Structure 1
Amino acid sequence: MNKPVCFIDTDSAGKLCVQQSALEILEKIHKPVVVVAVVGLYRTGKSYLMNRLAGKQTGFALGSTIESKTKGIWMWCVPHPTKAGITLVLLDTEGLEDVDKGDPKHDTNIFSLAVLLSSTLVYNSRGTIDNKAVMELQYVTVLSECIKVKSSDEDAEDSSEFVKFFPSFIWAVRDFTLELKINGKDVTEDEYLEFALKLKHGNLKILQNIIFNNSSTTITNIKTTSILGHLAKTYVDTISSGAVPCLENAVIAMVIIENEAAVKEGLQVYQSGMEKLKDSFPLEQKDVSSEHQHLSSMATQVFMKRSFKDTDGKYLKSLEENIIKLFDGYLCQNEKSSKKRCEEILSSLSAPVMEKLEQGFYAKPGGYDLFCTDLENIVKKYNSQAKKEVKAEEVLEEFLKQKSVDSKAILQADKKLTEKEKKIKEEKEKAAFLGQKIKAGEEKQRQLKEKMEAERQSNEERMRQMKDKMDEELRLQKEEAERAMNSKLREQADLQEKGFKEKADRMSQEIEEFRRKSTEAESNKAREFAAILENSDRRHEEFMAMMMQQHREHMMAMQKPDPHASICRIM
């Protein structure tokens, strides 16, 4: 983006709304994302700070009067300055406590959206960190009233739930005028902040919802710009309706939207590649199967990259089943193309014989042997020209079956042969035709086994990619739980150090309960993953069983001779 655009605005009725043009921009970006939002009082230089973060001198609107220049939330997507392949999304928010605003809830809504949509939240202020500055963070203290973590009231007051989704918090103090000294001793910026936020009896609330340990993601796992856009739309619509935005409900909505899109993108990759391959049909089945395996792997990669909390493997199953259907369709198209080419070859090669039949050339003594010789030459040339065609044997079987009518008529009309010789030749013809029928059946079985092997390898690749993603998700879940636990432990240690023993003791029970829930969540996640793999293996086994049943049916059909078949000695 060359410049920022308005992301969330206020409509004529005074309600927040997401700009469609901004959503379209986010849909076009296909990279991992880090979202940084800045909040703070109006006219404190937030836009200037964001321009610096973007590496630009201009961009977000700057003002030189006491009026707030930024309205709503503005967005600027730029390459991350230190992380290759990452998109940095900067969100500049409308200044808080602007006296010109008519709706007192507007500031709270803007602040809530900044928290919900960012992975790092920058609180911008001027001067020093004093009681007034801290009190201006009132928006943090009422977050539990403005944001719900779960759709039910269970654990509504559990601060650990907020720890899981609250973004990294940075307090940027601008135009700081005091020396960094405490009791005459030089201190660092962090030490000064700790001193300024030191808990005092009866004065300040516990700031557990203000500063948490650094985190790059929220509970909603905003990892792509498309998810950011969908979440913004969900949250803004909820707030505009007068309801309290709920992370759990938003995640459920994102699961449907993102996973359906992930399946669609995966299928597009597969189908696009197979459509290009179709231009070269007919091909040997091994070539079609090889490309199928390659594209199936690519489709799965695309799906895995975008899929979002597919905890029961429902959407992976949808992708898998649709790819198998498409693969069957392309195999069928390849077979039709092959059949057409084989029929064209036979039609060209048999044209002289057909002309002789019409002229009655074989209706004479010795005509049967002449017919058989001409037919043998056709088959020999055909096998040379169509040897790599998937329908070569089947089309030849059908061709010889059609010609058996002419063969029988010529054999019976041949005056040169005795009845005994005709009987012997007829038996030989039946044996030869049965041999071709078996040959066609064996080729079909070979192709069926080739298809089964291709699907087996594709399934193994899907399972490998799924396991890698599951392992990564489990690792991130553990890290998230560890961050929340460390935050609580630090808070408890600080309480003990400052003499708040009773509160510190109460936190011990809270920490143990949090540890129990984290362990249980990890176990549940592991069981979910195991169930997904098991279900996929079962589907694969069912698919293989269906293929084997087809194999057995073909074998039984091959063993049934055609009593009406008759053909010349073509072997």
Structure 2
Amino acid sequence: IVLILLSLSGSPSSYISNPLFPLCFSGFSLGSTVQSHTKGIWMWCFPHPQKTGHTLVLLDTEGLGDVEKGDNQNDCWIFALAILLSSTFVYNSMGPINQLAIDQLHYVTELTDRIRSRSSPDQDEVEDSDEFVRFFPDFVWVLRDFSLELKLNGEPISADEYLENSLKLKQGTGQRDKVKELNLPQLCIHKFFPKKKCFVFERPVHGRKVGQMESLQDQDLDSDFVEQVAEFCSYLFSSSKVKMLSGCIKVNGPRLKSLVVTYVNTICSGSLPCIENAVLALSQTENAAAVQKAIAHYDQQMNQKLQLPTETLQELLNVHRASEKEAIKIFMENSFKDVNQVVFSILTYFLLISTLKTELETKQEEFLKKNEQASSDRCLALLQDIFNPFEEDVKQGIYYKPGGYHLYVQKTRELKKKYYDEPRKGVQVMMVTCVFWGATDFIQTAE
């Protein structure tokens, strides 16, 4: 679950982020001067307080519109990254929602120029921005230092109703293009963020106490502010969803890391970040890892279940088939799939399985060679252990006496029987034995 807090310069989001993680040391430091305090995008991870097995990731961005930067391109990319990475997008501004506040959200009107959902949209048509809604986060607008009474036409309204009313399209009688330009941010917010929520916060403290916020306790803050922040945190904890990609693919920690690296590298290269390409890169990384995990499992199973040398070749092949079947199962469990457990496409599936089977065949060949070598080593060791003392007796002339030949033949048969009775000599028994008999003159003579 990824929450991102984005503010205009001078509207520090740390007032909001710190209550979300009260146990994490001192949280994010608070800026109380005219100089922007947070730089870049800061990340904070914490076990979800309500959802077991989930991690809450908080991303806090530098303030947008800082005059010290001099170039708003950086702000545009931070805004785009905030949209791409989050499941809940919290926009923090000060005061009421007026035309100025909406105009300051002009970044939302540039999203289609900063983000692509597909790698190759049809040449004859503009990429449909409706696709963005499938992966855009929920939108939460936080209004800090809000002092107005929530009323409309004399009737009390909720913060959500206030937001919806503020985002109504302007009905103008002037130039059509001017009215369309004024309404563009509202249109984009409605189009890209079908789920919207609004919270209003009163000033937490007054006067110079603002500069002491980090050291103040709840009892030092305005009671209404404390209550409003508690309601805000409760909503985020209970309503924020797991970050999803196209195909309803859930984003976990490693996937979030991969997305960050892919998007940032793409932006740094001068290209537009593309959702489809990021998912493709993610699938390639995870599927490659799944193949390696399957191979490692195959190796482990073969080493555990095989006692080399095997008595027969079939014994090894049986263990290979069982281990191969388990390895393919491990791959399927760990490969990159969409919500329907489909590995993207049939073609992709067969290519991956083919790659895995090729790797396993190579591993099988390695085990076959190990098995043959183990068999050769065991047979040779047995032959030498059994026949070396006999050879020494022959050299000492023990059998060069009357009746010695009969004893010699009898001993040879006994030693051969002993050798053949030894278990697990393996698949090379015939070849090694024949070579040994052929190279040993004293046994040939006995024959």
Question: Would you call these one fold, judging by a TM-score over 0.5?
Answer: yes
Q: 1:377 aligns with which of 414, 417, 439?
A: 414
Residues 335, 278 of structure 1: alpha-carbon distance in 2 compared, 3 angstrom cutoff: farther
Amino acid at match of 1:43: G
The CA deviation at 1:95 is: 0.7
Aligned residue number for residue 554 of structure 1: none
Q: Structure 2 unaligned runs (5+)?
A: 172-178, 196-240, 338-342
Distance of aligned partners of 1:277 and 1:394 in 2 relative to their CA distance in 1, 3 Å threshold: farther
Provide the residue aligned with 1:64 in structure 2: 32
Distance 1:126 1:381, change over 3 A: farther
CA distance in 2, matches of 1:275, 1:95: 57
Number of aligned residue pairs: give it.
376
Q: Which moved more, 1:118-127 or 1:200-209?
A: 200-209
Cα deviation, residue 231, structure 1:
3.2
The answer as to 2:336 corresponding to 1:301 is no
**Corresponding residue to 2:366 among 316, 329, 339:** 329
CA contact (8 A) 1:72 1:94 kept: yes
Check whether the contact 1:141–1:209 (CA below 8 A) recurs between aligned residues.
no
> In the superposition, relative to structure 1, how do residues 341 and 49 fare at CA in structure 2: closer, same or farther (>3 Å)?
farther
**Residues 274 and 292 in structure 1, CA contact (< 8 A), matched pair in contact too:** no
Asked whether 1:216 is paired with 2:186, we answer: no
Give the C-alpha shift of residue 238 in structure 1: 3.1
Written as runs of structure 1 = structure 2, the 5 A alignment for 1:449-488 is: none
Q: Any gaps of 5 or more consecutive residues in structure 1?
A: 1-33, 412-571
Who is 1:402 aligned against? 438
8 Å Cα contact 2:376/2:429 also seen in 1: no
Question: Does 1:263 pair with 2:299?
Answer: no
Following superposition, the deviation at residue 211 of structure 1 comes to 1.2
Q: TM-score, normalised by structure 2?
A: 0.69
Instruction: Report the secondary structure of 1:44's partner residue.
Output: coil
Contact 2:11 2:93 in 1 (8 A): yes
Shift of 1:142: 1.4
Does 2:186 correspond to 1:204? no
Alignment match, 2:384: 347
Deviations 1:355-374 (A, max 9, x none): 34434556778766544532
Secondary structure of 2:9's counterpart equals coil
Q: 1:333 to 1:392 in 2, by over 3 A?
A: closer
RMSD of Structure 2 on Structure 1 (CA): 3.9
1:38 to 2:5 alignment: yes
CA deviations on 1:195-241 (whole Å, 9 max, x unpaired) are: 43344545524234441356731339572434433433333333334
The alignment-based identity, stated in percent, is 38
CA contact (8 A) 1:288 1:331 kept: no
Determine whether 1:358 maps to 2:395: yes
Distance 1:305 1:180, change over 3 A: farther
Deviation per residue, 1:90-133 (Å, 9 max, x gap) = 22111111122211212111101111222332222233334333
357-366 or 371-380, which deviates more:
357-366
Name 1:249's counterpart in structure 2: 277
**Structure 2 vs 1, CA of residues 338 and 400 (structure 1 numbering), >3 Å: closer, same or farther?**
closer
Alpha carbons of 1:372 and 1:336: their partners in 2 closer, same or farther (altered >3 Å)? same
Structure 2 counterpart SS, 1:142? helix
Equivalent pair of 1:149/1:156 in contact (CA under 8 Å) = no
| The one of 357, 361, 366 aligned to 1:320 | 357
Residues 397 and 57 of structure 1, relative CA distance in 2, 3 Å threshold? closer
Q: Name the structure 2 match of 1:390.
A: 426
Match in the other structure for 1:161? 131
Between Structure 1 and Structure 2, the one with more helix by share is 1
Q: Which amino acid aligns with 2:330?
A: Q
CA offset digits 1:255-310 (Å, max 9, x no partner): 44444344345445555x37975998557786996598569736863674364766
SS of residue matched to 1:62: coil
